Amino acid sequence: MPIDKVAFFGDSYCFDTVTKKMSNGTATPFYPPTPSYMDMFAEKHNLQIVHVGTPAHGPNWMIHEFREWLASKSQEYINETHFVFCWSDEGREIVRNTGDLTERTSFEDEMHPGEMSLPGPDTPMLKDEERFDRRVRQAIELYWIYLKPTLGEAQRQFTTVKDAWTLYIKRHNISSYQQYHCFDQTAIYENNCHSFEYMGKTFSCLQHFAFSMEDYVQGENRDLPPEQQDHYNHFSPQGQKRMAEVLERRFKECS
């Protein structure tokens, strides 16, 4: 059965596409002005993008989305789909949404009402008095210091998630797929099992690959207006083209 669709599961490394509106912190969602690597890959192989990743969400959320997506599709539909899995940081958590003083977007509420992705301890939003109640900001900071599960616990949960992923892959007879680690920490834990080569160099994760581009800008041009930013999915313009080539090579290996 011919492949005519592609589904991306993961985090912000596979989110931005000209086929889907994004907000990027703005009040009005907009389409990225230029194609991302996802669009380049899909267009070259006449594939429809039918699912994208969720920014700031980890493997637990990804496997939930994968399971729900599979349950909503026929086996024929699944057989016509190529899958790209971008495994995010195993320590990412979803917590109760308490004390957020900003208006919730429909994007967040539709995913998990009353919950939010746990902000990192150094994220600028924790210093924003208009974003979070002071007590909640302090609670989040103290949670990271005293209560955040250990890396070992996160890795044990991640192993369970990977076992569930294997179960769904086998249950639905999925053979056309490719996998990447987003960050080095997860890659090291899994012995770099999803590393890939480009121009004679081996990369353990997408972050290292993105950083290797000559035109990569630290900060990703976030100081510019959203419509002028060009590091969608954390890849520079050069990185978009090269990542599309990486996907294409692995796609052909599945064929």
pLDDT tens by residue, 20-65: 887 766 667 778 888 999 999 999 999 999 999 999 999 999 999 9
Q: How many CB atoms lie within 10 A of CB 69?
A: 17
Lowest mean pLDDT among 70-79, 135-144, 176-185, 237-246: 135-144
For residues 178 and 241, give the distance between their C-alpha atoms in angstroms, rounded to a whole number.
Answer: 18
Q: By C-alpha distance, which of 248, 246, 240, 247 is closest to 17?
A: 240
Encoded amino acid at 57, one letter: H
Identify the band that residue 116 occupies on the pLDDT scale cut at 50, 70 and 90. confident
DSSP 188-234: HHTTTTT-EEETTEEESSHHHHHHTSTT--TTTTTTS-GGG---GGG
């599309």: which residue's tokens? 244
| pLDDT, greater one: 114 or 72 | 72
Q: Check: CB of residue 56 under 8 Å from CB of residue 41.
A: no
In the chain, what are the domains?
Answer: 5-93+151-254 (3.40.50), 98-148 (no CATH)
Task: Report helix, strand or coil for 162.
Answer: helix
pLDDT tens by residue, 63-109: 999 999 999 999 999 999 999 999 999 999 998 887 676 666 556 67
pLDDT tens by residue, 194-229: 999 999 999 999 999 999 999 999 888 888 876 677
Percent of the residues in the chain that have a pLDDT greater than 70, as a whole number = 93
For CA atoms 151, 157, 158, 159, the dihedral sign is positive
Instruction: Give residue 169's pLDDT.
Output: 98
Q: How many CB atoms lie within 10 A of CB 99?
A: 15
55-58 contact pairs (CB < 8 A, 24+) = 55/11, 55/12, 55/15, 56/11, 56/12, 56/92, 56/117, 57/11, 57/88, 57/92, 57/94, 57/117, 58/11, 58/88, 58/89, 58/90, 58/91, 58/92, 58/93
pTM here is: 0.93
pLDDT tens by residue, 149-185: 999 999 999 999 999 999 999 999 999 999 999 999 9
Whether the per-residue pLDDT at 134 is higher than 90: the answer is: no
Instruction: Give residue 43's pLDDT.
Output: 97
Identify the band that residue 244 occupies on the pLDDT scale cut at 50, 70 and 90. very high
Task: Report helix, strand or coil for 6.
Answer: strand
